[in-house]
Structures are given as structure tokens and as C-alpha cells.
Amino acid sequence: MGLEASQITGTNFVYQNFSFERFLDDMVELGRQRIELWGIAQHFHVPIATDDDVRRLGAQLAARGQSLYCLTPEQVMYPVNLGSDIEWLRESSLAMFRRAADVTAELGGEVLFLTPGRGREDEDTSEAWKRAVDGLQQVAEYASTQGVRCVVEALQRSESNLVFDLDSLARLDRDVAHPNLTIALDTVAMATAGDTVDDYYEAFGDRITHVHLVDGAPSGHRAWGDGELPLADYLRVLDEHAFSGMMTFEIFGAAYARDPLRAHRQCQDAVIDALASLRA
């Protein structure tokens, strides 16, 4: 079976200024049943989410025939950093991810999305690297006890000085070496590093299990058609490798903040059209 539009998740990326209910209703309108939930404070802030909050979220999904696929806690803007040398910050980060694994399992989700964190720019990164590797090992192991699979992605260099291209992601993967950690491909982080989808498959093969599918110039996290990245080429390679995971439109920016449904529909239509051309 080839790549299909049903592999697109619904997601609340760029819905931070709208209610959670509006986001879910818009995803119903787009036909999105499986959700990658961005754990932002306005919708679902993992560190303070109570058991009642989790049950309420589950009921909201169930009422619309939706289900959680992936939980992606905010971990770049918030004080979350597995590579930190500040003890309270690293310990609270580990606790947050353990709680996120619990929540994912309780809601019947499959995937917990991770990033490696960063070290200080004015210090050697070797110790931060060790902390990040250890932190990812701990989280991946804990999540495995909950039946939740973890994925990790490379960030852009502005977001991390540890893992920001394919080579550093491959090194991280080798060093963590945990069977419960697989690879997420982010098209913007990939493009800004000068890597390609073919490069990712050469390095990781079928261990690529999740994709953040987003346009850019090459950065920017734009809706498809608003950047310069080759969507059709990306989808062709994913299709050739029988990619069976899910794809999420990780859109950000003021251009989409007031009408996120339009941006998500623009992305969805672009993928559907590209897939149709692929099959023609």
C-alpha cells in the first residue's frame, strides 16, 4: 500500500490563540481522526495536567470520533532541557516527560515526541551531550513500560547546539541505542541542514516512523505553497520506501495565527494534489 492522505494527523500547531474545542472541530471538518497534540499551556500543559484534565481531554476526543496518536510536549520554548547542567531544570524535564508518557498511555496514544535539548553556547558541549543521551535513555525506557514508543528529531541550529543535522542525529541514535526510540524526520530542520529525505533513509531506513511535513524557505514552518521546499519529491521518496507512519503539519507564524483552518486546509490540499500526481 502506498502513501495516503489518511496518514496526515490533525494537530493544534498554530491553534494556540484558539480554544481546544475549536481546534478539534476544525480537524473534524478536515476529516482528521488521529491527533498529534502539541502540549501547550493554553490547551494541555503536561506539568500541571491533573487526572481529571486527562479524562476530560479523552472525552473531548471520543465525542468527535478522534484519538490521540502522538503527544508532543512543548520543549523548546518552555524551561525543558534534557541537556541542562542545572539540576532542578533537568530533573523537572525528566519528570515532565515521564508524566507525558503516562498521559499518552492513558489516552491510548502510541507516540511520545522528544527533542535532545541543548548545551550552553559558551561551553564545550561534550557534557551536555552525555546528559542528553542519558535523559533520552531514561525517558525511552520509562515510556516502554507504559507501552508508548518514542521518536526524536533533529532541531535547527538556532534551537539546539547538540543535534541539528543528520550526522548529529545519527550519532545520537547510536549513543542512545534504545529499542524504544525511533526517528522523526522534520522537513524544515532537514532542509536547513542541507540534508534530504534520501539521506535520512540511507542513514535510518525504516526506523523513520514519524514526519513533521512542513514548507519553508528553507526555514519558517510555513504552509505548503508558501515556501520553496519540494513537497512532491519528499512524498515520492516516502512512498518509494513504503513509509507507514503519520505526517503532521507543524505550522507556525503570524501569517496563520488568525485563520489556522485555512492554513491546514492549504497543506492538506497540497498533499492530496501531490499524491494524485504521484499516482497519475
Q: How many CB atoms lie within 10 A of CB 265?
A: 15
Q: Residue 211 and residue 203: Cα distance in Å, rounded?
A: 15
Q: What is the domain range of residue 199?
A: 5-279
Task: Please tell me what DSSP assigns to residue 165.
Answer: S
Which cell is 219 given? 526555514
User: Any idea what the CATH number is for the domain that residue 268 is in?
Assistant: 3.20.20.150
Q: Residue 12 and residue 19: Cα distance in Å, rounded?
A: 10
Residue 84 main-chain phi, psi, to 5 deg: -70, 145
Residue 181 main-chain phi, psi, to 5 deg: -120, 120
For residue 102, what are the CA distances in angstroms to 31, 43, 117, 129?
A: 27, 18, 21, 26
The pLDDT tens digits along the chain (280 residues) read: 589 999 999 999 999 999 999 999 999 999 999 999 999 999 999 999 999 999 999 999 999 999 999 999 999 888 999 999 999 999 999 999 999 999 999 999 999 999 999 999 999 999 999 999 999 999 999 999 999 999 999 999 999 999 999 999 999 999 999 999 999 999 999 999 999 999 999 999 999 999 999 999 999 999 999 999 999 999 999 999 999 999 999 999 999 999 999 999 999 999 999 999 998 8
Per the structure, the count of domains in the chain is 1
Long-range contacts of 121-127 (CB under 8 A, 24+ apart): 121/161, 125/161, 125/162, 127/85
pTM: predicted TM-score of the whole model, two decimal places:
0.96
Residue 209 main-chain phi, psi, to 5 deg: -120, -5
